[in-house]
């Protein structure tokens, strides 16, 4: 079935009021103490206040509460296109899945975006605004870019490998039903969407035993990985060193990853870091962009994964690790009201140079 929003009980609403009280308390405390954060805190006063408040909010509420408040990915999409006076086009895909177009499907370059959110949260305004700004910038440079957003099932209702099945259906739709050559498609994903993007690339290289194969006539134009979630293990040094510099919380990551995995075992599709360099030989993409921030808890794991990917793909990779930036900044710059940072600018530049 297509995505739906959980229904909250009266008790759920009462507990959510408590969540908001704790979050407001953290906000007020952070405003007073952020000036004394030291080197262990975020790179600016504003970031420290926002990140600490966000960590409290995600840690104290439940996934059910968060999903009820956020709505579905298509809800977010419909609200965005209505607000911005854009054309809405929602598409029914195979496997009871939906996707949505932002822009014209005849564009020279099509981005297939697999959104982040820990497999627990839907597409958000940050994702949509990032792509909308990219499209506007492209028009000023005579570069025609559009995007197809996948709405995949969120955990715990949807568990691995359900989301990979849906991602494969989205790519199959683009290349077969929509008739778009792979050479015009850039696969992109942030955080959990980066995990899913890598799962899809693994499926192209080594078809998952429970998912129908997807065959490409030519390689994809490229892939963009924004702070990809490459392992659910939290033993990397950066998980501790950057715990108060980033907006992600280890307990929340554990909750989200457990919900996504269900009873499944770790494998190369759900944990890209588990795959060695040989696994990625013959990667069916023209070029690769990897983005991360020095202050994010994933930076060490992303670096280790990049080492694996470079074994056979180093000549087509660009890696940007932005100083002082935290997790998933190209999306969060727009969500949180920051000026476009190094990662966001690198993303726009990389895509438009290839559009």
Question: What are the 10-residue block averages of pLDDT along the chain, 355 residues in total?
Answer: 77 80 88 88 92 94 93 98 98 96 97 99 98 97 97 98 99 98 99 99 99 97 99 99 98 98 98 98 98 99 99 98 98 96 99 97
List the end-to-end C-alpha distance of the chain, in Å, as a whole number. 35
What's the confidence (pLDDT) of residue 23? 87
Q: pLDDT per residue over 227-273, tens digit each?
A: 999 999 999 999 999 999 999 999 999 999 999 999 999 999 999 99
Residue 288 lies in a domain: yes
Residue 309 lies in a domain: yes
- Residue 261: closest CA among 187, 159, 126: 159
10-26 pLDDT, tens digit each: 887 778 788 888 889 88
C-beta of residue 225 within 8 angstroms of C-beta of residue 194: yes
**What is the reported pLDDT for 2?**
65
DSSP codes joined into one string, 131-162: HHHHHHHHHHTT--EEEEEEEPPPTTTS-TTH
Question: What is each CA distance from 298 to 144, 239, 249, in whole angstroms?
Answer: 33, 7, 11
Which pLDDT score is estimated for 27?
87
Write the CA distances from 295 to 75, 106, 163, 336, integer angstroms.
32, 39, 29, 17
The number of folded domains in the chain is 1
Q: Which of 208, 154, 221 has the alpha carbon at shortest distance from 181?
A: 221
**pLDDT number for residue 7:** 83
Within-domain flag for 311? yes
Backbone φ, ψ for residue 330 (5° rounding): -55, -35
Full residue range of the structural domain in which residue 295 is found: 71-354
Within 8 A by CB and 6+ apart from 177, the residues are none
Domain-embedded: residue 35: no
d(CA 260, CA 167): 15
Quickly list DSSP for 28-79: HHHHHHGGG-GGGS-SSHHHHHHHHHHHHHHHHS-HHHHHHHH--HHHHHHH
8 A C-beta contact, residue 92 and residue 98: yes
Q: In what order do the strands lie in the sheet with 109-114?
A: 89-93, 97-102, 145-151, 109-114, 185-190, 220-226, 285-293, 317-322
What CATH number has the domain bearing residue 182? 3.40.50.1820
For residue 270, the SS3 value is coil
Nearest one of 144, 135, 3, 161 to 67, comparing CA atoms: 3
Does residue 37 lie within any of the structural domains? Answer: no
State both tokens at 121: 């949260």
Distance CA 277, CA 283 (A): 11
The answer to the question of residue 82 being in a domain is yes
Beta strand residue intervals within the chain, DSSP E: 89-93, 97-102, 109-114, 145-151, 185-190, 220-226, 285-293, 317-322
């Amino acid at each position: 079935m297509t995505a739906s929003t959980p229904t909250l009980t009266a008790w759920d609403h009462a507990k959510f009021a408590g969540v908001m009280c704790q979050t407001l308390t953290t906000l007020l405390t952070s405003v007073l103490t952020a000036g004394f954060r030291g080197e262990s805190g975020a790179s600016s006063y504003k970031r420290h206040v926002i990140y600490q408040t966000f960590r409290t909010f995600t840690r104290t509420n439940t996934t059910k509460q968060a999903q009820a408040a956020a709505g579905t990915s298509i809800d977010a999409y419909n609200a965005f296109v209505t607000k911005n006076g854009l054309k809405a086009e929602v598409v029914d895909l195979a496997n009871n899945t939906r996707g949505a177009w932002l822009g014209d499907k005849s564009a020279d370059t099509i981005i297939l975006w697999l959104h982040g959110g820990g497999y627990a949260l839907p597409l958000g305004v940050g994702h949509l605004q990032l792509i909308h700004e990219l499209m506007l910038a492209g028009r000023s440079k005579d570069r025609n870019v559009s995007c197809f957003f996948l709405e995949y099932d969120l955990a715990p209702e949807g568990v691995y490998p359900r989301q990979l099945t849906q991602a494969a259906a989205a790519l199959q739709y683009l290349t077969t039903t929509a008739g778009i050559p792979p050479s015009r498609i850039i696969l992109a994903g942030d955080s959990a969407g980066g995990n899913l993007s890598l799962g899809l690339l693994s499926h192209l290289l080594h078809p998952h035993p429970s998912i129908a194969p997807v065959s490409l006539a030519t390689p994809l134009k490229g892939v963009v990985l924004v702070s990809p979630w490459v392992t659910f293990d939290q033993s990397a040094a950066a998980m501790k060193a950057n715990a108060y510099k980033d907006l992600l919380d280890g307990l929340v990551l554990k909750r989200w990853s457990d919900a996504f995995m269900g009873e499944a075992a770790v494998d190369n599709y759900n944990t890209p870091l588990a795959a060695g360099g040989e696994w990625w030989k013959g990667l069916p993409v023209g070029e690769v962009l990897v983005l991360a921030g020095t202050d994010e808890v994933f930076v060490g794991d992303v670096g280790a994964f990049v080492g694996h990917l470079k074994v056979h793909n180093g000549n087509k990779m660009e890696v940007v690790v932005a100083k002082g930036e935290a997790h998933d900044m190209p999306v969060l710059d727009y969500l949180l009201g920051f000026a476009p940072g190094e990662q966001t600018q690198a993303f726009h530049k990389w895509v438009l140079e290839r559009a």
